[in-house]
Amino acid sequence: MNKKTKKNIHEAIVYARFIILGFIMIYPLIWMFFASFKTNDEIFGSLALLPKSFRIQPFIDGWKSVGGMTYGRFFLNTFKLVIPTTLFTIISSTLVAYGFTRFDFKGKKFLFGILISTLMLPNAVIIIPRYTIFRSLNFIDTYNPFYMAALFACYPFFTYMLIQFMRGLPVELDESAYMDGCGTFKVLYRILLPLLKPALFSAALFQFLWTYNDYFNSLIYINTVKKFTISLALRLSIDAESVIQWNEVMAMACVAVLPVIIIFFVAQKYFVEGISTTGLKG
């Protein structure tokens, strides 16, 4: 057996391992999709992956949801929450990162230390103080708690991520722009933002996915059914009936996860590029 043959066999084994591992990882999604066509008896009484018949009725009935509202309303609520939160997070995190990386001011190291320390705070520690503050501001049962946290850069992970990326951009670029007559914000807009695109795409994708899938905070701050997001709507579908029609729940879970999958694969290039280049020195 020559070296080329051995190399081909080795590559085939490696690819086979990746295919098997990938199948194991996506198997729950595959099972969920086929379970949406099954009855309760098939789901709990059979180990077969494929249903006896493929019917779209579970998707139709599941979309109607409860209380006279459809999942179209819940999707609209979700995007009304997620899109502004993502945009506000990117804007505020970029401004804070710009301040830390390009300016010297009193207490800079101390404030940066506080920023890093907040990364280690679990959400369970800050949820009660946050709830108390937002309740005093009459923000409960609105999306304002998410908007305000994003506007004031209360997501230190994204700020730190952009700081690390911006540190890798040469300061000489700023100096050249200042010599050409650019101001502070013009340097950020014209020089740094185009170079920050990979990191911004990564941060936006992370924040979109995390906010879209967030169940706990949505449950804490949102009380009215007509303002529910997708994550709360799925739970509502389970609690609405004494006998749960699991095929309808699985059908809506498939519909709910579809936007996330599409966005991830469309933005995968920028996501990988942003992660791989964050923190590199230029």
Phi, psi of 50 (to 5 degrees): -85, 140
Q: pTM of the prediction?
A: 0.85
**How confident is the model at residue 279, as a pLDDT?**
46
Lowest mean pLDDT among 91-95, 112-116, 138-142, 177-181: 177-181
Task: List, in sequence order, the alpha helices (H) in the chain.
Answer: 3-35, 40-45, 57-64, 71-102, 108-118, 123-136, 144-151, 156-167, 171-179, 184-187, 193-195, 197-213, 216-221, 230-239, 246-266, 268-277
Name the amino acid, one letter, at 105. F
Confidence class of residue 187 from pLDDT cuts 50, 70 and 90?
confident
Please give the structure tokens belonging to residue 131.
């709830």
Per-residue pLDDT of 86-103, as tens digits, reads 999 999 999 999 999 988
Is residue 83 over pLDDT 90? yes
Please give the structure tokens belonging to residue 264.
């991830």
257 or 3: whose pLDDT is higher? Answer: 257
Is residue 211 over pLDDT 70? yes
Confidence class of residue 84 from pLDDT cuts 50, 70 and 90?
very high
Per-residue pLDDT of 40-79, as tens digits, reads 888 888 888 888 888 888 888 888 876 678 899 999 999 9
What's the angle, vertex CA 122, arms to CA 218 and CA 211, rounded to 5? 30
Report the candidate in 227, 235, 231, 226 with the shortest Cα–Cα distance to residue 212.
231
Say if domain 68-230+257-277 classifies as CATH 1.10.3720.10: yes
Please give the structure tokens belonging to residue 220.
């804490």
**How confident is the model at residue 17, as a pLDDT?**
92
Confidence class of residue 178 from pLDDT cuts 50, 70 and 90?
confident
Percent of the chain with pLDDT over 70: 93
What is the rounded end-to-end Cα distance, in angstroms, of the chain? 46
Residue 68 to residues 1, 32, 33, 63, Cα–Cα distance (Å): 69, 26, 25, 11
